Structure 1
């Protein structure tokens, strides 16, 4: 089986820089898009697109549109992931970028319910569907490119690059929304919320220019050279690498739920249950984004040193242990204690898992099926445990009279499932990538 090291000599520093920057900008725009949408769902959309409902129903409805985007991600993963294994990584990564960027820009131009009635939320959902379809193959593709370009002993570090971009996007999105909330409510609701959606076109333009200049993955070229490209990658995946696919689904479950609870839904909990000002809530998540940007590559590097399973599984177990203390600290309504909870769990512990997923999720598959396996396993899990999490969390907290114990038990169960599955996944940090 050929390994990445066989092709190291042909990879120039310039090409490596383009791949790295392409992965970072892709992760940044994906999570910038998703975070500003999640923030707007928690703070804005219920008032503008679901007029005439109670605050709770409006929040549930707006989080419902957020979930819709997650539910379509597996479709994007299946369609685009298959193409990524058939025609190459590069064209699909350009496509995902255009889909995500164009749909986000269009959200910023949408008329509200007051202008066109029920058509407004319908158009919002259409934009969200396009965004989710593109995102279904974005992270997997960017991580795979990094993995297939990286030196063999640094795949964990390079595989964390996409998550660094995600953390940067989270940080940028929270910063923008924090600044926007300095506007008077009337201005924020009339035009202010549109600014980040429209301004995302700048990031998209830069990212598009970079990605069109990135070369094809050397590992995919090797697969094509050996005539190993599969005509129906998804069928081959189910027939020959089904076990790995199911393992990735379970591994992604705890990570997805933890990320979306600790870094997106929590804004709603901080404002509606703990009674923090909305600006304070986004500040706390902003600091979590700073922490995540710093620690994510450290966990990727650590996984190269001691193994993927120890870092990923250990973080899942630690996160499960910390769930109840996390909500207890927030419920003190002390901004310092709440900040410690949000930063430590959302910005550090969960990021240990995020920093390793790019390498771990890709290394368990052969190159000829890697895009499909990574994308489908992760995104089906994201649809079930990621996008639905804010909606489920809102409903569980409402059902328990504002108490967090219901959502805590649910979250702990999923994190423990992820930890348990980690024990059965093969350790891959010293293994060569397979064709």
Structure 2
């Protein structure tokens, strides 16, 4: 595996390096925010809108499960996006793939806002919805790896967890933005909201797309990646170029461990965005205040995610993530009590505490996953590990939780056991993975 010995940033003075690193980190954060606005807006819409718009021939519970099934389609497509964009990102560069992924995401999300309802075109609307959701999944599958690696590979050792956490901080920011915008339109009369109001947040994606492309076009390519290419060129091109995915699969332990270690973080994330919202509304809270409570808690969690990334630079990725998992398991039962209280302040507190636990897992995760792979296969390995974790942890979680809840007659015990079990599995594989905060990315063979 080729690695980069020279530091490509050495030719710049310290101030110039720091300025460029800050610009890249900001770009990763804003770009990730835009992409996750699109991706997670779908989560809220699948809970509150799609059953009544695209699955009108089903009873409410069956419609909700069907809508969550379309939500899962995006997660099924994410590993495919990670493999495709990872391959070209490891061969052609991180920056080009970031721009391409954003284009696909922005176009797909805008088109979702234009799909006719079931009343107009019947089941074809649901088919189009699934196809566009798959496009979203492919795009976000390629987006994360490039954004995380750009931040990670522009940073100095000892600050990588902090830098890479900004990419993951884009997810709660995007979730808050999407939920807030959807909440504004949810205040409309029910018939108007379901007729056209829900579409506007998706159509706004085209504006965010333009902003994102401008931001992404102004950053420089990863210096570690450029140094690796230069080293390969100096050594002479091999007779048969290495496939990044072949390098990853030749030693699959890192891929399997990172996938299972990160899965529960995504289960918690999607539990908050879908099941917890619906559960709170079902138990007497009004829809709009619940959406705002989640949006505000998501904004606070941006600071939590970045702070936990910083803590992981000091104490290690594994200890911070394990504390988050243990706290989440311990607090699951009280959180359900607060979500079902009908009191918006307790619901907000539940979202905030739950997302604090999530941040302890999610903040260090970008660095934790990326540091397990070598430079010339890092985009592919990190993207696949991360996206397979999202598929395992989040792709089917809304459907599974809704089904468990329905089959138990509205009891939460089976839901609690499922989430706690996933958390225990992740804790085991975090313990089995080596601590990576002190790796030298330019020379270390993973």
TM range (shorter): over 0.9
Q: Distance in 2 between matches of 1:4 and 1:337?
A: 53
DSSP-derived class of the 2:104 partner: helix
Displacement of 1:363: 0.9
Given the alignment, which residue of 45, 50, 55 partners 1:50?
Answer: 55
Contact 2:276 2:339 in 1 (8 A): no
- Retained in 2: the 8 A contact 1:157–1:298? yes
Q: Give the Å deviation of 1:255.
A: 0.8
- What is the distance in 2 between the residues matched to 1:288 and 1:337? 12
Which has the larger displacement, 81-90 or 321-330?
321-330
Matches of 1:359 and 1:59 in 2, distance apart? 35
User: What residue number does 1:253 align with?
Assistant: 263
Partners of 1:335 and 1:209 in 2: CA distance = 39
Does the 8 Å contact 2:324/2:361 carry over to 1?
A: yes
Q: Which runs of 5+ in 1 are unaligned?
A: none
State the partner residue of 1:411: 419
Q: Is 2:9 aligned against 1:7?
A: yes
Give the equivalent residue in structure 1 for 2:193.
188
Partner of 1:220: 225
| Residue 84 of structure 1: aligned partner | 89
Structure 2: how far apart are the matches of 1:26 and 1:231? 30
Deviates more, 1:335-344 or 1:168-177: 335-344
1:262 equivalent in structure 2: 272
- Pick closer, same or farther for the CA change 1:397–1:8 going to 2, 3 Å: farther
* 2:265–2:361 CA contact under 8 A, matched in 1: yes
CA contact (8 A) 1:73 1:133 kept: yes
Which residue does 1:397 correspond to in 2?
A: 405
* 1:379 pairs with 2:387: yes
- Distance change in 2, residues 1:8/1:413 (3 Å): farther
15-24 or 35-44, which deviates more: 15-24
Contact 1:86 1:231 in 2 (8 A): no
For residues 10-33 of structure 1, give each alpha carbon's deviation from its aligned partner in whole angstroms, at most 9, with x where no partner exists: 364553343123211222122211
The one of 107, 114, 117 aligned to 1:112: 117
What do residues 188-241 of structure 1 show as CA deviations (whole Å, max 9, x unaligned)? 11211011101121111111111122221111111111118963111111113x
Mapped pair 1:232 → 2:235: no
RMSD (CA atoms): 1.7
Q: CA–CA distance in 2 between the matches of 1:361 and 1:313?
A: 15
Contact 2:8 2:224 in 1 (8 A): no
Conservation of the 8 A alpha-carbon contact between 2:268 and 2:358: yes
Distance 2:5 2:205 in 1: 38
Cα deviation, 1:138-165, whole Å, max 9, x if unaligned, reads 1121011100001112111101111221
Match of 2:350 among 327, 341, 355: 341
1:35 Cα deviation from its structure 2 partner: 2.3
Once the 2 structures are TM-superposed, how far is the Cα of residue 56 of structure 1 from its aligned partner?
0.6
Separation in structure 1 between the aligned mates of residue 274 and residue 47 of structure 2, nearest angstrom? 9
Find the aligned partners of 1:5 and 1:312 in 2 and give their Cα distance. Answer: 30
- Aligned equivalents of 1:263 and 1:38: distance in 2? 7
Query: Secondary structure at the residue paired with 1:104?
Result: helix
Q: CA deviation at 1:247?
A: 1.0
Q: 1:414 offset after TM fit, Å?
A: 0.7
TM-score by length of 1: 0.95
Matched-pair contact (CA < 8 Å) for 1:320–1:415: yes
Q: Is the CA contact 1:4–1:151 (under 8 Å) kept in the aligned structure 2? A: no
Matches of 2:440 and 2:8, distance apart in 1: 10
1:208 and 1:410 map into 2 onto residues whose CA distance is 40
Structure 1 contact 270–276 (Cα < 8 Å) conserved: yes
TM-score scaled by length of structure 2: 0.93
Residue of structure 1 equivalent to 2:78: 73
- 1:233-382 matches, within 5 Å, as 233-240=244-251, 242-272=252-282, 274-346=283-355, 348-382=356-390
Partners of 1:259 and 1:36 in 2: how far apart?
A: 13
Partner of residue 34, structure 2: 29
| Inter-partner Cα distance in structure 1 for 2:243 and 2:410 | 48
User: Which of 156, 164, 171 is the equivalent residue of 1:159?
Assistant: 164
Q: How many residues align?
A: 432
What secondary structure, in the 3-state scheme, does the structure 1 residue paired with 2:285 have? coil
Structure 2 stretches of 5 or more lacking a match?
none
Using the TM superposition, name which of 1-10 and 170-179 deviates more: 1-10
